[in-house]
Copies of this chain bind each other. A is one copy, B any other.
């Protein structure tokens, strides 16, 4: 029986931005499962229905962020909020800056004031178009790099320690984003014809559970005083395949063909044919095989081929 004087066990505290998005909401669950105390900075329009999570409202003001960091006093800040746009219109320049540069800077400034030092940041492989050094695919990637420039200042002048996880494509159950796999699954369901590019671009798909494990690993590494104060690691699914090959895996698992018109559309301007390699995150590797991940997506939608069909196929 513990003595009455035994100190309460201090749970590690995390503050997240972007905690209500697809990646963020999965990370929240993973943090809670690992017994972290979870705090979220959220926009008025965002909703988090988990009772054990504390939320702080962000209405664009730095005072909102300072208050959230001071009140939550996190051990680690996970910065996931981002506006992703493959292409932008002139009117989207401002929201791109607000989401991808300004918010992060307000967060770093609040960390400086509150004496919070550990940041896990989210970058993109698109900051490195056909090169190992900075070459942005689009303005979205440029704003991500712009934030890293700001981060460098806080690392040098305010003692911040950071790890930036550079993401490629992510997927998983319950993904509401208009991405490749959900689109292909829709076509399987409806039988609709999908017009695609020639499909020879190589994708790096990472399962959301693997990504959450990467964030947790980064949170371990970031406080290690033996490590460089700022690091950028690529978070690769480790199974790079062309878009056509991925469609093939889906057809195989579903036991029926997709109606895709390959080459009906041109490649995008500045299409990434070969993703960046980058330095892998130490102590972490993806565990979920793409075939298993796809199996799970099909299962979720009731699109797996039936056992009888499988037996039939096995007979040949």
B-binding residues in A (CB < 8 A): 62-63, 66, 90-91, 93-94, 97, 101-102, 105-106, 109-110, 113, 129, 134-136, 138-139, 141-143, 145-147, 149-150, 152-153, 156-157, 269-270
Please give, as numbers and ranges, the residues of chain B lying within 8 Å of A129 by CB-CB distance: 156
Please give, as numbers and ranges, the residues of chain B lying within 8 Å of A152 by CB-CB distance: 134-136, 142, 145
Interface pair A157/B101, CB less than 8 Å apart: no
Q: How far is the CB of A122 from chain B (nearest CB, A)?
A: 16
Which B residue sits closest to A63, measured CB to CB?
B90
Interface of A is mostly: helix
Complex Cα spacing A157 to B150, Å: 23
Interface pair B149/A142, CB less than 8 Å apart: yes
Q: Across chains A and B, which 6 residue pairs bring their CB atoms closest together, nearest first?
A: A146-B146, A142-B153, A145-B149, A146-B149, A136-B153, A142-B150
Complex Cα spacing A82 to B136, Å: 24
Please give, as numbers and ranges, the residues of chain B lying within 8 Å of A141 by CB-CB distance: 153
Which of B102, B106, B109, B136 is the one whose CB lies under 8 Å from A149? B136
Q: How far is the CB of A69 from chain B (nearest CB, A)?
A: 11
